[in-house]
Amino acid sequence: MADGAEPLWSLGPSLAFTALDFGGRAAVRDAARAAYDASVADYRQTMLTAFGQVEDNLNALEVLRRESAAQRDAVDAAKRALSRVGNRYENGAITYLNVVVTQAIVLSDQRAAVRIERRRMAASVALVKALGGGVAERGGGVGAGVSFVQVQSEKQPHGRLFSYLNQTI
């Protein structure tokens, strides 16, 4: 009889200590809720920052696209001017100094176009990073290229956006 009664007598005090924990379980529950709320706030802030970065980079790409088109027009106009100046020089109407000055203008416009394209590529990389993708280097050394690592899930397909990026790069 002592063996059967002993678990019964020990059950009473353990139930009493469990029921009378003097708010300990409520404090643990409240701490867990506070930690959850802090995690949710951090997540929201992270998502807002990410959306902001994506929007900023999309806007930058659009502005740079327009800049690039305008610069391409400037390069084309400078090349046409160089052709006309070259013809005038060959006909003896102007000095070679005019040709050199026009060549310098063409070179300057071409360098500006390259700088804009470099900024477009950097904005494209920043957009891919903001979308959660990464950049992996291929090979090594000075001539190493960069390829985009496309990270897609079935829940968040970005196929249209990545096709836009491939067109702009």
- Overall average pLDDT of the 8-22 stretch: 59
**pTM here?**
0.58
Give the number of C-alpha atoms closer than 13 A to the C-alpha of residue 70, restricted to the C-beta side.
Answer: 7
Summarised one tens digit per residue, pLDDT across range 38-67 is: 999 999 999 999 899 999 999 999 999 999
**What is the three-state SS of 38-76?**
HHHHHHHHHHHHHHHHHHHHHHHHHHHHHHHHHHHHHHH
Q: Cα–Cα distances in Å, from 56 out to 23, 81, 89, 106, 121?
A: 49, 37, 48, 32, 15
Domain ranges of the chain: 23-168
Residue 1 has pLDDT above 70, yes or no: no
Other CB atoms within 10 Å distance of the CB of residue 101: 12
The least confident of 28-37, 70-79, 127-136, 146-155 is 146-155
What percentage of the chain has pLDDT greater than the value 70? 66
Identify the three-state secondary structure at position 94.
coil
β pairing state of 134-137 and 146-149: antiparallel
- Rounded Cα distance between 59 and 76, Å, is 26
50 and 130 Cβ atoms separated by less than 8 Å = yes
CATH number of 23-168: 1.20.1600.10
- Rounded Cα distance between 70 and 113, Å, is 9
- Rounded Cα distance between 55 and 144, Å, is 29
